[in-house]
Structure 1
């Protein structure tokens, strides 16, 4: 058991509160395991009509997974470290298929693993402090936890853009991109939660919840992503290869293209190639096929170089100067990337 996650029943609701506040509510293995076990219990509990998940404090919903633990563990035992992802991905799949309405209050930082326990639910309510990102290419990972399913399905190439660049999105951008379903201002957020908890949910719980969310919905204001949408659509859509995308950016004379190339130059070349392939395949896969694919990839990343170097440079030493290996896109072949997607035999992720 763990005291970093709390489960309570309030009225018709099963309420999950992430309590790892010192670590911005980051998910560790015990939290993921406990969450999945509780969700399975509540799925068959007739007194629970819906699920609400929230983060403790006012800084974060969930800033991701326990990267420091993964870094230390995988150095010595990559197979054991990968079991965290197995539990996390099984939880992501359970949320995606959950038989009852699932509401995530995503005010505050919401990145990586936090996205995995929010974006696959029915409702995602952004607030004034919402800050979304999938920044994994900058630490030698890839946007997992089902990123290969929801990101290719965002319109106008926006998902691929977020996946490769790790670009951040506040509430208005989350609404414009389709990452959030609703926005409620921070001065209304507590009242919204009270209204949800007080609701008597009948046979039409989904509609009842949506009506409450709509009643408290506000206007998050101008979405900067919309200023970039035409450039993103023009440059990030309809490429069969990452090389084609990079050439389009290089040949373009816009400030957006130049800024994007500068951003991508800092990312792990291996992660970029993996991520492009993940998005390409994931756009044609169902959710559980994506999760199985992502587990194959992450299992092999735990045996490589760039994850350890990325975490060292960005999180531990903070010198912001990772030494990627290979150090350029040109040094990575299609065969190199295909290896990450090969089946794992007895170690495959089994769902549900």
Structure 2
């Protein structure tokens, strides 16, 4: 593999190493990377010479900032075919990672957002650091958490997942462990040595040598007001409860949610709650594919990416403009069967 390729695939001492290699874009995923990871995992799955997989990202800023949403924006403007194809392949990969039988060690250092969560947080050995900045920020661009994110969010303690989904705010490595997005904590300055130990000695010995007790989770410590305020039936009720709470953090959360796409918020609330009643990651990914296919045809998906990442005026004009205009029919339309539906 050459260093200018978007995904570097190698094997050392029986460990298959996947390096996301777009550091200037914080390793944002494109179709070449998704295909490369999928091909490698399939090749290694039944190869007795491969004992484990190690996922890491090039550069100092993070494992992966998510999918290449500017590419998805241009696809949406052209009818959405490329976006639908990308999500199809990406979600199949997320499911494959979720059921991978061999140790799949994901180093979730630095920024791990959106699609980065999808290629890391469904693995069976998920490592974070004090520099981890994780999140599902989709509502800020008129989109809905995907890549199996609603599966994880719906299974977080109490209503922490709803808080993360509706604010889109990043959370720490310690929070990620508390919420079920990660398993182990290794200090950033020891992560390179930990990776070498995984290759030399196996992940179990490496964890014994390098993993530490994580710091206390700040989100977990705020469960009282989060569980109370996010109990509302609708996003509007949740906002009312947040704004009326004594905790400044609750009112700050309300201010942040109020900047997000109203329809994306309403659909996200429904998606996370529905995901809680689905039985498998595959079922949730199928729901997410339907929602994503609907999103790519929506006004807010294009407008949100335009405002945040294309024109960068940070001033999206959402439509519908308010939560009150997001009726049940508009929300339900996002969950209608896609054509074709995602199959496994």
How high is the TM-score relative to the length of structure 1? 0.92
Greater mean deviation of Cα atoms: 110-119 or 128-137 = 128-137
In structure 1, the partner of 2:270 is: 277
Counterpart check, 1:303 vs 2:297: yes
CA–CA distance in 1 between the matches of 2:298 and 2:220?
37
Deviations 1:7-54 (A, max 9, x none): 111112111011111111110011111111111111111111111100
Match 1:252 to one of 237, 245, 251: 245
C-alpha displacement at 1:173, in angstroms? 2.2
The correspondence for 1:6, drawn from 5, 8, 25, is: 8
1:152 corresponding residue in structure 2:
154
**Cα pair 2:152 2:180 within 8 Å, conserved:** no
Alignment map for 1:4-43 (pairs within 5 Å): 4-43=6-45
Map of 1:228 onto structure 2: 222
Question: Which position in structure 1 is the counterpart of 2:185?
Answer: 183
Tell me if the contact between 1:79 and 1:299 (Cα under 8 Å) persists in the aligned partners. Answer: no
Which secondary structure does the structure 2 equivalent of 1:173 belong to?
helix
Deviation at 1:240, TM superposition (A): 4.1
Q: Is the 8 A contact 1:18 1:25 kept in 2?
A: yes
Runs of 4+ that moved beyond 6 A? none
Root-mean-square deviation (CA, aligned residues, Å) is 1.7
1:206 aligned partner? none
Map 1:285-324; keep pairs closer than 5 Å: 285=278, 286-324=280-318
Equivalent position of 2:102 in the other structure? 100
How far apart, in 1, do the equivalents of 2:166 and 2:214 lie? 25
Deviates more, 1:28-37 or 1:226-235: 226-235
Contact 1:153 1:283 in 2 (8 A): yes
SS of residue matched to 1:61: coil
Give the whole-Å Cα distance in 1 for the aligned partners of 2:227 and 2:256. Answer: 18
Report the secondary structure of 2:10's partner residue. Answer: strand
Per the TM alignment, residue 250 of structure 1 is displaced from its structure 2 partner at its CA by 4.1
1:163-242 equivalent positions in 2, closer than 5 A = 163-199=165-201, 209-237=203-231, 239-242=232-235
Do 1:231 and 1:256's aligned partners in 2 also have CA atoms closer than 8 Å? no
Of 266, 290, 295, which aligns to 2:259? 266
User: Counterpart in 2 of 1:69?
Assistant: 71
Question: Contact 2:226–2:250 (CA<8 Å) still a contact in 1?
Answer: no
What is the CA distance between 1:220 and its match in structure 2? 4.0
Deviation digits for residues 149-189 of structure 1 (CA, Å, limit 9, x no counterpart): 11110102111110110111122222333322111112211
Following superposition, the deviation at residue 211 of structure 1 comes to 4.3
What are the ranges of 5 or more consecutive residues in structure 1 without an aligned counterpart?
202-208
> Match for residue 205 of structure 1?
none
Q: SS of the residue aligned with 1:156? A: coil
Structure 2 residue runs without a partner (length 5+): none
Cα separation, 1, equivalents of 2:165 and 2:239: 14
Aligned length: 341
Structure 1 counterpart of 2:50, from 40, 48, 51: 48
